[in-house]
Structure 1
Amino acid sequence: MTTTDDLPTDPRPTWFAALDRVAALAAAVPADRMADPTPCDGFDVRTLLAHLVTTVRRPAALAAGTDPAAPPLVSADVLDAPAAAYVAEAAAVQVAWSRPDTGALLDRTVRLPFGEVPGRTAVWAFVNETLVHGWDLAVATGQDPEGDPELATTALVAARQLIPAEPRGGPVPFAPVVPPAPGAGPAERLANWSGRSRP
């Protein structure tokens, strides 16, 4: 990961908008789609939602001063109702990261599971992870995969700065960039940059 030049200095509003977007998608998942496959390898809809819970528990831990690497890849404790858990925890993490003391993390180096990065870079990483998995969820459940094009475009600018196109794998835990399909919107192109494609 590199820098976040030419992006808003406070990435939290962008992240909060991404969380709201994905919470709305999660709330609309039909109960009979939980076992459906997703574009995210190894995850069906249920386990993708439980992984999304982990993606908010890690920054919640950062805000609380605890180990953000502690939450497992999939939050197994919410598998009975992962969509409701995500909606609740996505709202709670916004409250936690709205505090002045947490805002100060933007100007510090923080440790995440993939290494030490500036706090602002960490939040841009949260934006990317949220929206890419939101795209996964929307595609898997037949919902609108694009959402707000301005939000996805901002996230794509950040992703191109923070996640190198090459190399991929190892310390850059993404599959190779997928060439966008003709007419692909910004959310799909963001997913493509993270190595995702439609099934």
Structure 2
Amino acid sequence: MNQVPDPRPTYERAADQMTALIASVRPELLDAPTPCEEFTIRDLLDHVVATTQGFARIGEDGRVTEGVFEQPLQVPDDGWAEAYAKARDGLVAAWLDDARLETRYAMGWADLSGREVLAAATMDAVAHGWDLARALGRGEGLDEELGEYALAVARRMAPGDQRGEGVPFGPVLTAPDGADAYGRLAAWLGRPADWTPEGRVVA
């Protein structure tokens, strides 16, 4: 983990993917379910924007404060693309200084370098990109290299034997045979890899 490559270009790719997905969400879909059992699409977008803002604040302040990922949002139904774009721009700007990548951050569950923090931000964006794509009924078209990257980060930062109270992931599930990187990532993070809004596998 000490030699984590600069994650900023990969984050930009993950954010591009998320941007395209959010742009395709129509207001009438906001109350639809997602693979995150407690989240509707609106809840998921709220979480994605708030988390992105939180990673930006860590880069800006150089410290991790309580509730940094849990700021209340008031976003109109047609404002999610703009809200995410603003949060994303803030994150990118906050981490422009290379020195931030070498700073250590006490994240609560681990002491991480800035490189590792941004790798976690990238994994979060990729994983929730899959959540949103599935909620929208999509089974293909996601960046497979991003899925492999996020899966590797998740396996390092969210070990399967460290789940339970205070950990934002459920028990590791078994991915179906032949599952792509996103399916394996979903299963590792505790989501059913074959989830669809109707309970059917997406073609």
**Does the pair score TM above 0.5?**
yes
The aligned counterpart of 2:127 is 132
In structure 2, distance between residues paired with 1:24 and 1:31: 15
In structure 2, distance between residues paired with 1:133 and 1:106: 23
The aligned counterpart of 1:177 is 172
- 1:125 CA displacement: 1.2
- 1:159-170 alignment runs, 5 A limit: 159-170=154-165
In structure 2, distance between residues paired with 1:38 and 1:171: 21
SS at 2:32 equivalent: coil
Is 1:82 the counterpart of 2:80 in the alignment?
A: yes
In structure 1, distance between residues paired with 2:100 and 2:86: 23
The aligned counterpart of 1:22 is 18
Contact 1:58–1:68, Cα closer than 8 Å, also in 2: no
Task: In structure 1, list runs of 5 or more residues that go unmatched.
Answer: none
- TM-score by structure 2 length? 0.83
Farther off after superposition, 46-55 or 149-158: 149-158
- For residues 118 and 49 of structure 1, do their structure 2 counterparts lie closer, same or farther at Cα, with a shift above 3 Å needed? same
Structure of greater relative contact order (alpha carbons < 8 Å, 6+ residues apart): 1
2:103 counterpart (87, 98, 108): 108
Letter of the 2:145 counterpart: E
Contact 2:11–2:119, Cα closer than 8 Å, also in 1: yes
- 1:4 CA displacement: 6.1
Identity of aligned residues (%): 34
Q: Over the residues paired in the alignment, what is the CA RMSD in angstroms?
A: 2.3
The aligned counterpart of 2:55 is 59
Structure with the higher fraction of residues in helix conformation? 1
Task: In structure 2, list runs of 5 or more residues that go unmatched.
Answer: 197-203
- 1:15 CA displacement: 1.5
1:156 counterpart (151, 155, 165): 151
SS at 2:112 equivalent: strand
